[in-house]
Structure 1
Amino acid sequence: MTTAVHGASVDIPTRDGIADAYLSHPDTRAPHPAVLLYMDAFGLRPHLKAMADRLAAAGYVVLVPNVFYRHGRAPVVELPEFINPAERPEIIGSLQPAARTLTPEGAMRDATAYLDWLVASPLTTGGPAGVTGYCMGAGLALRTAGTHPDRVAAAAGFHGAYLASDAPDSPHLLADRITAELYFGHADQDATNPAEQIDRLDTALTAAGVRHRGEVYAGARHGFTQADTAMYSAEATERHWTALLDLFGRRL
């Protein structure tokens, strides 16, 4: 039987302002484990809210912040109901001003605020949280696990971008601080996460003794979980749900 959920818009105070967010939780009186869900670049929109609802129905309190809140409340740009960057390349360009407002340092100040808010909520059990992220959000999930090792029990990333780049602040460089168990579902058709970066991430996590698993989803494109985009794969998305719920079920 599917658990009924309740979803609502909430505002999260941060050191840099007010982050608008979506909160979904089981419609029961009992507290549940907290999950922080990081958006892709297209941002907080109906599809991500539906993903949060599905995760909440599995027994979690799910917070989806608009990480571009410094630029404006969601939606930060006008989006079509179906997103196809090949036909509408200007959409990617229109997101760049918003993306530039989010630095790694700012993102981790925000992560502190999001985790504080979840712990303080009577809806949650108050224990360590789970984190999952999509596209750019996968990097935020990895960075959050490394920045808050005592507050994140499990973290996952799907079709992540630039997880183990040559940049001096690449998120994989935090591997030696991570205590959470990690899972990554990589797209094999993804210019933002080529095979050498997948290998570099695995090597860093293995060397640091981090319990983790990374899988390459054959035939999947960058963005494969996003049903309102041309990159969507129903098969890969269901595989993602199986892996994510297994991770959270064991660790949360």
Structure 2
Amino acid sequence: MSGPECCSNPPSLNPSRGCGHVDKVGGVDSYFSGSSHSKLALLMLSDVFGYEAPNLSLLTKLQLLGIMWLFLTSWMVNGAGHVEKLAALDSYLSGSPNSIAILLVSDVFGYEAPNLRNIADKVAAAGYYVVVPDFFYGDPYNPENASRPLSVWLKDHGTDKGSEAAKSIIEALKSKGVTAIGAAGFCWGGKVVVELAKSRLIQADVLLHPAFVSVDDIKGVDIPTAVLGAEIDKMSPPELVKQFEQVLTAKPGQVDCFVKIFPKVSHGWTVRYNPEDAEAVKAAEEAHQDMLNWFAKHLK
């Protein structure tokens, strides 16, 4: 808890002070100073008076050490939620525990991806308890590791393993009083979510540019399902997504479905978008809203 000492001797804020510049990073206004080509960076967090305090700009002397540094306006660098163990898995949790939970299953880049955590916070703000587990046990795919290409990495992190771990997460949520669970899967996570849907362990699902999902998989799904596909996608091309739609709409008993192919976007657009690209953000947010609408319709 802050005391009076934290608020004494307040500075005269000056947004034009300093030899650096203000730019957005991760959607947050930030003061940058130093070379953007440096391989070293320092992140500094202000006191309660914020990032425009003039004395903070004096710290640009760090440039002399060849260090690029930035000052964020927000403390919420890693999201509004927190990480704790759930069913022995580190999980990012956002929102207040209640009877309805949403399980978000990441793509191969894992549960720490900033955009994914922002999505989790957005879903939580709609009134859900959101869980984003680390199904890779601290070992997400690293494209810079040439000795371990995706095909090799997948041998250690198959979607079958993710599906089994997800079942434990669902049981843990039920033990906490959750009575309705929806799940959304991004890329790799789409296959995990389909397996949960086939087992009827969830009440509704959303597949966002899913990978490794087949028509036979969709034939085994009989819960309300939304599929959000990209026009430019080799993993789930529009032709395959349309087959998913045909299978879902032909099911007896009128299983509710929603299928949409987003124009001019590529695989991964809903979670790997550039926050500085207005068009990319717009397309991603449209998909996020479709996801929220689907859960609002089918989770009570």
Class of the TM-score when normalised by the shorter of the 2 chains: 0.7 to 0.9
2:116 equivalent to 1:48: yes
Distance across 1 between alignment mates of 2:159 and 2:268: 21
Aligned to 1:25: 95
Distance across 2 between alignment mates of 1:107 and 1:77: 14
> Where does structure 1 differ by over 4 angstroms across 4 or more consecutive aligned residues?
88-97, 227-232
Distance across 2 between alignment mates of 1:208 and 1:185: 19
User: What SS is found at the alignment partner of 2:292?
Assistant: helix
Q: How many residues align?
A: 216
2:86 equivalent to 1:12: yes
Aligned to 2:209: 159
What pairs up with 1:138-157 in 2 under 5 angstroms? 138-147=190-199, 149=200, 151-157=201-207
Cα distance, 1:107 vs structure 2 = 2.6
| TM-score, structure 2 normalization | 0.64
Task: Structure 1: give runs of 5+ residues left out of the alignment.
Answer: 79-87, 165-171
Task: Structure 2: give runs of 5+ residues left out of the alignment.
Answer: 1-78
| Aligned AA (2:105) | Y
| TM-score, structure 1 normalization | 0.75
2:221 equivalent to 1:221: no
User: What SS is found at the alignment partner of 1:233?
Assistant: helix
Cα distance, 1:128 vs structure 2 = 2.4
Aligned to 1:112: 167
Q: 1:101 to 1:53 in 2, by over 3 A?
A: same
Deviations 1:107-142 (A, max 9, x none): 3321210111111125xxx21200001111122222
User: What SS is found at the alignment partner of 2:190?
Assistant: helix
Higher-Rg member (1/2): 2
RMSD: 2.8
Percentage of matched positions with identical amino acids: 24
- Answer 1 or 2: higher relative contact order, Cα 8 Å, separation at least 6: 1
Aligned to 1:236: 283
User: What SS is found at the alignment partner of 1:180?
Assistant: coil
Distance across 2 between alignment mates of 1:176 and 1:193: 16
- Contact conserved, 1:68 with 1:99, CA < 8 A, in 2? no
2:188 equivalent to 1:133: no
Aligned to 2:297: 250
- Contact conserved, 1:162 with 1:197, CA < 8 A, in 2? no
| Aligned AA (2:290) | A
